[in-house]
Amino acid sequence: MTKSACENDASGQQSHKETLLGRMHKTKGARFAAHKRLSRKHYFNGYTVSILSFYVICFSVGILVYSSSLENGTANFFTFLSVALSVLIIVISLLVASEKYDVKATLMHFCAREVLDLYTSVKFRELSAEEINEHRKLYQDIINKYPDNHDDIDRDIYLSEEGNLSSERSKWLKARYFWSTFGENTLYIITPPLIVGLWLLCH
């Protein structure tokens, strides 16, 4: 084999290695971001259920304490709201149990750690073409071992932290992340006080 052919072969191997490293680097970054987002979502779900339970207790006790001074319409309204919130708590609890955000977050972290270990073993070694293919298969085996993939928002958060996210994708990134992580539960928390406030203003 000529010197030029050897150089081309080495260059090709280096190119394949860099491609594999790039894929693993992006995957581990996105999976770590997914772990953080799902963990936050899990804990905020518990916080939301606690706040809604607090509302239910306040409404129920308030009706009992102030029953003599409340108009029938107002008492009925707060009774209805208390029952509705109780049902909502059950729905949220069932959804949280079915989604298993804590389990998904843990699996994302395990996946990211495995990819990180493989990434480190590839980055600091000289590899032949055969070894690169073996590591590519190992990488794919890790990905296939975990059932859930990260979301687009996780990849965008990671790329944003790296400074590699396009300006178009950067638009409303924080808002999209907030909604993906806290959005629905925030609505659940703020809606009951708003409804009560509007009712009191109108009556």
- Could you give the CA distance from residue 105 to residue 88 in angstroms, rounded to a whole number? 24
pLDDT level of residue 4 (50, 70, 90 thresholds): very low
- Could you give the CA distance from residue 192 to residue 183 in angstroms, rounded to a whole number? 15
Quick check: 3 pLDDT over 50?
no
List the end-to-end C-alpha distance of the chain, in Å, as a whole number: 92
169 or 56, higher pLDDT = 56
Chain segment 108-129, per-residue pLDDT in tens: 999 999 999 999 989 888 888 8
- Could you give the CA distance from residue 57 to residue 101 in angstroms, rounded to a whole number? 27
Chain segment 35-50, per-residue pLDDT in tens: 999 999 999 999 999 9
Read off the pTM: 0.84
Cβ pair 192, 52 in contact under 8 A: yes
Cβ atoms within 10 A of the Cβ of 41, count? 21
Chain segment 148-176, per-residue pLDDT in tens: 999 999 999 999 988 888 877 787 898 99
**Two structure tokens written together for 47:** 């916080």
